[in-house]
Chain A
Amino acid sequence: MTRILATFVSGLLFGVGLAVSGLINPAKVQSFLDIAGAWDPSLAITMAVAVLTTWAGYRVVFARGAPLLDKTFHVPPTGRVDRRLVAGALIFGLGWGLVGFCPGPLVAALPVGATPTFVFALAMLAGMAAARSFVAFQPAPVMKPKPR
């Protein structure tokens, strides 16, 4: 129950961040991606601040050795760039550019309730289901990051 609550609060804060930054708006995302047009670099700032905050926070968290509500960290491996990773990133980038929605902002935009958002969401779920039906999935490997 505590785990569910902590995850909910994290999602809540994440959603607020998406709304405040403007990432929730596909038009703003596309303005950020449009470096040859009227480029809006705002989201580069969002990305940079988010990464720096997470990097600093993770150092503190990983140094403790374990999370508060679990025995271990559940983090994916960091090495080996394989074909699946590259293919997935290229396919995702194409879809992201076409409309300006990636999964987080899409979910955050759902309560605005417009039909295009629901159409995109259903198509995204279909794509996820399709990928899950032909890619073998293992749960994220459990490993303990080295404290720095």
Chain B
Amino acid sequence: MHLLLSTGMSGFSPISAAIGGLCIGLASVLLMATTGRIAGISGFVSRLLPPYEDGQFLVRVAFVAGIIAGPAIYAFTSGTPTEVDVTSNVPLLMAAGFLVGLGTVIGSGCTSGHGVCGTARLSVRSIVATLLFLATAMTTVFLMRHVLGVQ
């Protein structure tokens, strides 16, 4: 069961994919150039929770607020509706959300921190983590869609 929040077709979109990637890359470079930090979103979000070990709380709020505001401003100015098709299966959402929160904190990063920033630093840890979570996610989708038949 899917909840369609806006109309529009998904499909191969190389141009917008590349422009989006460029924005993400520039954002990561800007953060490192100014504050010397990795643009790792799971780190920024998870450290909004206690314990607070440094005085960076407002900085983290600012980053998260930016990520929330960015797509909203883009949708408003470009007139392109934001497509978010997400399952409405509540037990699945709860299980997946919990695993994503747990795994990104235990593994010290997600697609942004390891996948983009760490890989760009040629970090062995990040490259291994990225390959592992990509392979696991692909296997999960394969099992769900083609073995169990869940859509």
Contact = CB atoms under 8 A, between A and B. Distances in A.
Interface residues of A, number: 121
Given A51-B120, A77-B125, A81-B125, A95 B99 contact: yes
* Interface range on chain B (Cβ under 8 Å from partner): 35 or more
B86 to A, nearest CB: 5
B16 interface: yes
Q: Secondary structure of the A side of the interface?
A: helix
Interface in B64-106: 64-75, 82-88, 90, 92-106
Nearest to B63: A11
B38 A76 contact: yes
Nearest to B115: A47
Given A28-B83, A46-B18, 15 more contacts: A3-B59, A15-B71, A21-B19, A22-B17, A22-B20, A36-B146, A50-B28, A53-B21, A55-B122, A76-B109, A90-B132, A93-B103, A99-B87, A103-B45, A135-B106
A25 B83 contact: yes
Given A11-B66, A12-B70, A94-B136, A119 B12 contact: no
B30 A10 contact: yes
A55 B101 contact: no
Contact of B133 (A47, A54, A92, A108): A92
Interface of B: 2-3, 5, 10-14, 16-39, 41-42, 45-46, 49, 51, 53-54, 58-59, 62-75, 82-88, 90, 92-112, 114-126, 128-130, 132-142, 144-146
Nearest to A134: B106
B67 A93 contact: no
A58 to B, nearest CB: 6
Q: Secondary structure of the B side of the interface?
A: helix
A40 B103 contact: no
A74 B59 CA distance: 14
B103 to A, nearest CB: 3
Nearest to A75: B38
B68 A87 contact: no
A37 to B, nearest CB: 6
A114 B83 CA distance: 12
